[in-house]
Chains A and B, each alone.
Chain A
Amino acid sequence: MPGYNRAELSAELKIVPSSRAEKAPREQVEAGTEAAGATGLAHDAGPGTTVLSGGRAEVLKALMKVVEASLDAGARGVEVKVEAEEDAGRFGGAGGRRGTS
């Protein structure tokens, strides 16, 4: 994750809907997206892609909720890419939350 306030963990999610499920594909994606939004950690990151970013524990917990919500809505799967930030709390060898400017 770029910037000052590097999160410890970020998880990029892409929900893969199923054409066989009871709910329409769009509803399946929306279910996952809404669950992501409810975590308070989500931002849009591209077409159909959401990123969860924050502390390790909270991101992993949020990830579980999004995957469950998506599967419950009938999605075929959720593509997940989890990145640990080596410089978490540090930027370019130093960093963290920028409190002021």
Chain B
Amino acid sequence: MTTPTTPTRLGPGPATFSPGGIGESQRRPDGVPKVTGEFEYSSDMWLDGMLWGATLRSPHPRANIWSMDTSEAEDLPGVYAVLTHKDVPGRKVYGMEIPDQPVLAWESVRYQGEPVALVAADHPETARRALEKIHVEYEVLEPLADAEVAMEEGTLKLHPSGNLLRHVPIRYGDPEAAQAEVVVTGEYEIGMQDQAFLGPESGLAVPDGEGGVDLYISTQWLHVDQDQLTESLGLSPEMVRLTLSGVGGAFGGREDLSMQIHACMLALHTSRPVKIVYDREESFFGHVHRHPCKMYYEHGATRDGKLVYVKARTILDGGAYASSSTAVCSNAARFAVGPYEVPNARIDAYVVYTNNPPCGAMRGFGAVQTCFAHESQMDKLAAALGMDPVELRQKNAMSEGSELPTGQKVEGPTPVAELLQRIKDMPLPEDAGDGPRDLRELPGGVSNTTHGEGVRRGVGYAVGFKNVGFAEGFDDYATARVRLSMSDDGPLVEVHTAAAEVGQGVVTIQAQIARTELGVERISVLPADTRVGSAGSTSASRQTYMTGGAVKLACEAVRERLFERVREELGHPSDGFSIEGENVVSNGQMVVPLAELLGGEDIEETVVHRHVETFSLDENGQGDADVTYAFSAHRAVVDVDTELGLVRVVELATAQDVGKALNPQAVEGQIEGGTAQGLGLAILEEIQVRGGKVLNASFTDYLLPTILDMPPVKMDVLELADPGAPYGLRGVGEPPNISTPPAVVAALRAATGKELPRMPVRPEQIVGIAVEPPRRRPQQGSAGYAEIGRLDERSET
């Protein structure tokens, strides 16, 4: 094994490659290096002489700090620095939207895992031992761990202005006066899902010797990191430079800072490069999670199945600090009724502070939570009406020109009914019935828990939608710099953006766009860094739309300058120029070689791409808040062992409108990935939190779907161009994560007849025993629990 001596970047793939144009499936340049182990993740970076940073975290979800003694840790050989809040050079708090989170806690902690002190040492084990020698005297306090209690009048305030972070009301029509012939109500709940990216938080900070610092980091948005870093380090932006390193997944969990400020503080303090790498357990405490949510719904409809009104009240648990909670809350409100025409709506979404782990961005945020509720309600309504659930959805499906409860009209293709029809028309997988079954195809698999007895099949449907890009008046933009030059090997296009490649394929997309727009075969996508303007976040299904759009515009600007040069220098009057290979051509005839035209004069253009203006919601939740929308539908087929509560998802079928598939293979990958993550939320993934404490901070106890859990995905990709988008594309990444979970739970309901109002659905719910088991001490011989203690008791030992 070799160790690089500089923060190199065998990241996205070769420096220069020859991609196909848009619409062609393009193999990802980082694919092979990731499989062979050659890809350099941020945790792999190495510099000779670097130190290792480590973080002391609070073991308590709520406590006062009475004293902190770092002297013993400082005296440990090999320790170069021990830092506390007193050493934060600039603002002692940070946050993407609200600066409420301490860089290092000073007199209190608000969640288990809150950073308290830092160590830099010459070896990670030395750093770990030094953490043990920091003595913190805590006064442990009762945590406020229930979001609904946190909202009550007179409850303890966790922050100076109280516990309510945001309330988004939407008032549409007259829901109080609306008369419905059939009414269904429901209460739903979602647990705390983790992004579970495989590459834990890590980065390398390198001091420049002049008071500044370079940070090599895996993140989703370099510039928002830089902005927060400059505030807390007390430095100008020029002195804090960031470069994207190899990112091992993100899904929203890297939008907030984790170890960025800490590594830079240690590097500047010691004048040595400092690397911090979280292990898996620390990663669970080092990033935000998907908001747990409680939802109270009432749907009213006519007897023939037309929706009359929807009333919804959602309460999101934001945890200890704000992160992007205010945006999540708004999404939960705006998409609360689903992709349906509803003439009257009263929606109230709340997000509150508690002493639970901070929650923030995760794939499809806000819409994932409410989609579970509105789709569960549609199934309940269909049952009450005696209607087919797909037919009910189609009867109420929004279409082009429909109005959301925010008053915003949906523009462009809105194929909700069509998506549903397509998944309904797909052939269902064969049901073996009572015949002989392969164990591997049964719930429980080769555990030999059933040979088919007690196994019931269920089929469920769901449809969801969400906006693409940032909303509510945010001036969302992306910057691209494109240079056309002659190299020794011929014409070369260099694309430089700050777009974070987190595994979704934006490097390939940028190259494909440059190849398409400029016709030059050799494309180099430069490392993403802060030397170029912001690309915005790799989130909100926006990066291909926004940065792809910026690259397209920059290429068009370069092309126009090139053709202008043809007209000026050669006096060629044609307007019909194009670039083919290494030549400028007109009407199929070569006009001039690029080499001759460019000479030593490169053409470079930097362009900022903005989407259409959006607007804040008013006091009634009215306003054109969104850019555009993306829709998807899922059908789930499950087999359930109704005696043991074991589940096998037999098949997931989906239809999604992507506008234009720039890289069809990557689109399929996004849809399959989002579907898998949705399956995880439906039946497996939940951070177990009791009294503010996390009980399962490991991939042993936090259950992720594996290849054995994931069924084949039948996929129907529609390309109905969005007239306002580059190439007509829509965001792809989030929608499959939105419509999968309710489809799976609907299938489970169909199989079991149970209400299943909470997900992830646990075996206890399926077989009808209490979700919370009796709290009795484990007995000798009880499956080994006598040795290790039950999961919910381990944290106490």
Contact = CB atoms under 8 A, between A and B. Distances in A.
Interface in B460-478: 466-467, 469-477
Interface residues of B, number: 60
A98 B474 contact: yes
Given A3-B95, A101-B324, A95 B160 contact: no
Given A94-B475, A96-B473, A99-B330, A45 B107 contact: no
Interface in A64-101: 89-101
Contact of B324 (A39, A44, A51, A98): A98
Contact of A2 (B228, B331, B608, B616): B228
Nearest to A42: B160
A57 B583 CA distance: 60
Contact of B475 (A33, A37, A51, A90): A90
Given A5-B97, A100-B472, A45 B92 contact: yes
Interface in B310-326: 324, 326
A16 interface: no
B370 to A, nearest CB: 13
Nearest to A44: B160
A3 to B, nearest CB: 4
A41 interface: yes
Nearest to B92: A46
Please tell me the size bucket of the interface on A: 35 or more
A50 B540 contact: no
Interface of B is mostly: loop
B702 interface: no
Contacts of A50: 160
A98 B330 CA distance: 10
Interface in B73-119: 85, 91-100, 102, 106-107
A44 B252 CA distance: 26
B91 A45 contact: yes
A1 interface: yes
Most buried by B among A1, A4, A95, A100: A100
Interface in B607-660: 608, 610, 614, 616, 625-626
Given A4-B96, A41-B161, A101 B85 contact: no
A44 B228 contact: no
B99 A1 contact: yes
Most buried by B among A2, A49, A90, A95: A2
A100 B93 contact: no
15 contacts: A2-B95, A2-B228, A3-B96, A4-B470, A36-B160, A38-B161, A42-B160, A43-B160, A44-B102, A47-B107, A50-B160, A94-B608, A96-B474, A99-B330, A99-B625
Interface of B: 85, 91-100, 102, 106-107, 157, 159-162, 223-224, 227-228, 230-232, 252, 255, 324, 326-328, 330-331, 334, 361, 365-366, 466-467, 469-477, 533-534, 537, 539-540, 608, 610, 614, 616, 625-626
